[in-house]
Amino acid sequence: MKKLNKILALALGTGAMLSVQSCSEDFLDVDHYDVLSADYISSSDENFENGILSCYALMNQVINDESMKPWLWMAGHPTMDTQATGWDKAWLTQDWPADQKELYTEWRRLYEGITLCNNIIRDCKDDQKTANLSDDLVENAMAEARAMRGFYYFLAAQTWGNIPIIKEEPDTEDLPDNGGEEGNAVKVLDYIIEDLSEAAKVLDWKPRNGQYGRATKGMAKAFLAEAYLWKAYRQGNASGPGAEVDAAKAELKEIIESGTYELQESFTTLFDPLAWNKESIWEEVMEEGSTKAWEGFHTNAHGWTDNYAACPDNGGWGTLYLSWEFYSCFEKGDKRRDASACIPTIDNWGDYKDRITDEPLEVSAKSDYCYGVNPYLDEVKSKYKSYHYNTGGDYAPGVWSLKWWRTGVNTWWSNMWNPVHIYWKRYADVLLTYAECCFRTGDESEGWDYVNMIRKRAFGELEDGKSNELTTKYVQYYRNYAADRSLGMAWEVDHFDNYPIPFGSNMADYVPGEDYYDMVKTKLGFNLETWQVAMIQERRKEFNCEWTLAPALHREGLLAEHIRVNYPKDDHAINEGLYTYPWTPRTYDYSEDKMNFPIPAQELIRNPNLTQNKAYR
């Protein structure tokens, strides 16, 4: 498979020369490239192809040693389903300030990406620049650059709402209209919709040149649909019908009917090393890392897993935790729990009960595969035997992500080999969002069909009868990993006779979504329609630790009710009592306004035309 990152260095060198901040007067400090002439990129199709790749250069999420921030934090922590300790725990209580460094880092990254796209768009519109280039290349370059510009703007718009629009030909007279009061958010979304619409007209369903990682029609349409729904939300319509909902539904239906994508047979395998599966619409792939110590330490998946996901009991820093509320929200037979999380052995379960089934938590929380063990490493966690444990002053839940911690030599002083897939858009997200649109437009039966499509995959329907086929395809990686003595493991080559979590069907436990969520709504006391309860619960089960969870619940107007019901007010003291207490103490009041994150303080100084979002003034 061709990889874009092999030639990104050249693309960055030629494309970053004019990179600017969102304020037109301030230029970024970039390396000086005096070996390339100004017209080098446009001198041939080959050079221009390399230049186009600059549009993708800012996809990389690694930021020094803060390699999982800020997107995991912004897309996970506000739901409280992902948790943290130390200074990062403020992300759980909406206490992020305007000078939060991760916010400014992300703002800069997105606007640098926008600038690189603007450079290509400007060149494509220049007859002199394109005189030596083929018409087909220029057309596709324009489409890819607009898709990526729309993508960067979309991330900024869903995060901050009121943001500046920097075009390929900045007009300083337009600056006072950039980033005004909250109403500007709709204008920004219209600009994004135009970019993604035009890109989708040209792009193919398959990536150009067979290079997975390029923008495609499916990527453009998926984010276009989201932009329409965000526009509805910004106009005060989070859950009802409307022109924007109709438009989003049409785009999503085209994606579904294209036949390009399909659900992975097993949810469990989505985070295995085989990248760009049929479910992947748009993703970023982090390589496993070098076998040479410290080489690329924070430029590959090593930093992700070691810094955040690997539990301290096995040598990682373990600063990403999952809540017991999340771990306990799954139904019996839902295979997504074992694919998403593992827990330690518990010394004292107490008398706590599952909030939905009323089973003793000791019964409902014990997994055949993930209780006291990471099945992908077959390492037993024996040090922390409690619901929460002291991390050095803070108490963290003993629940760890298996999406980000599949394998690895989990010590700080050694390298870690662990592939990481950053799914910006999965087909499952398209199906659930299409279901949402169906419910909002009165097509309730069709909506439940699509919810149940996701649920049936979760209970193993697509794995039924395919155990041997799936095992052969996916177990080899773990066999090879276990056999590699250079990793310091003491396993035999045949350690894994089967996939760590066996394939097969649990459909005997399956209940249709409309029936199940009617019960959940009543049991937990949701003040929502049944389909909205399904959106909350299915999204958190499907997308925990992924980049779409909190933004989707925010856009759907469901975060407040999720917090109220799934994390009820709780003033349990942060003390030794948490060792034997599973639930998350919550004393703060959720604010919808705070989910429009603060415009970075540093950017307000740079650009006096910006107005701070109202919750932070």
The CATH number linked to 135 is: 1.25.40.390
Q: Is residue 564 part of a domain?
A: no
Cis before 70? omega within 30: yes
Integer Cα distance of 507 and 18 in angstroms: 56
- 472 and 608 share a domain? no
Share of the chain above pLDDT 70, in %: 81
Question: Residue 497's pLDDT is what?
Answer: 77
Which among 52, 57, 16, 26 has a CA at the least distance from the CA of 164? 26
Beta bridge partners of 422: 284
* Nearest to 94, CA basis, from 616, 617, 574: 616
* 408 part of a folded domain: yes
Residue with tokens 């997504």: 336
- Give a yes or no: residue 166 inside a domain: yes
Same domain as 446, residue 324:
yes
Domain contains 579 = no
Beta pairing partners, 322: 82
CA distances to 116, 333, 346, 385, 603 from 579, rounded to whole Å, are: 50, 28, 10, 9, 42
Query: Which of 235, 229, 239 is closest to 196 using CA atoms?
Result: 229
Of 420 and 153, the one with more pLDDT: 153
pLDDT band for 281, please (50, 70, 90 cuts).
Answer: very high
Tell whether 583 is covered by a domain.
Answer: no
Q: What are phi and psi of 423, to 5 degrees?
A: -85, 105
Bridge partner list, 380? 373
Per-residue confidence (pLDDT) for residue 17, from 0 to 100:
28
Residue 112 sits in the same domain as residue 179: yes
Domains in the chain: how many in total? 2
Residue pair 314/381 in contact (Cβ under 8 Å)? The answer is: yes
Q: What's the confidence (pLDDT) of residue 489?
A: 44
Q: Which tokens in the block code for residue 431?
A: 């199906």
> What is the mean predicted confidence (pLDDT) over 451-472?
96
176-202 burial: b if 16+ Cβ within 10 Å, else e: eebbeeeebbbbbbebbbebbbbbbeb
Tokens of residue 248, six digits: 């989003």
pLDDT digits (tens, 9 = 90+) for 342-351: 999 999 999 9
What is the per-residue pLDDT for 202? 98
Q: Are residues 414 and 500 in the same domain?
A: yes
- What are the tens digits of pLDDT across the range 387-431? 998 888 889 999 999 998 887 654 444 555 567 788 999 999 999
CB within 8 Å of 76: residues ≥ 6 apart: 82, 544, 545, 549, 550
Residues 289 and 348 in one domain: yes
Let me know if residue 351 belongs to a domain.
yes
| Strand residues in 287-378 grouped as ranges (E) | 321-322, 341-342, 373-374
Domain-located, residue 32: yes
Q: List 262's β-bridge partners, or say none.
A: none
What are 395's strand-pairing partners? 390
Measured in degrees and rounded to the nearest 5, phi and psi for residue 397 equal -70, 140
Please name every residue paired with 214 in a beta bridge, in sequence order, or none if there are none. Answer: 212
**Comparison of pLDDT for 381 and 80, the residue scoring more:** 80
Residue 131 has pLDDT above 70, yes or no: yes
Backbone angle region of 141, left / alpha / beta, with phi > 0 → left and psi within -120 to 50 → alpha: alpha
Lowest mean pLDDT across 218-227, 276-285, 485-494, 594-603: 485-494
Q: How many other C-beta atoms lie within 10 A of the C-beta of residue 451?
A: 26
Q: Look up the domain containing 177 and give its range.
A: 4-238+598-616
Claim to verify: residue 224 and residue 289 sit in the same structural domain: no
Tallying the residues shown for the chain, one arrives at 617
Is residue 393 domain-shared with residue 287, that is, in the same domain?
A: yes
Determine, yes or no, domain membership for 379.
Answer: yes
d(CA 177, CA 180): 6
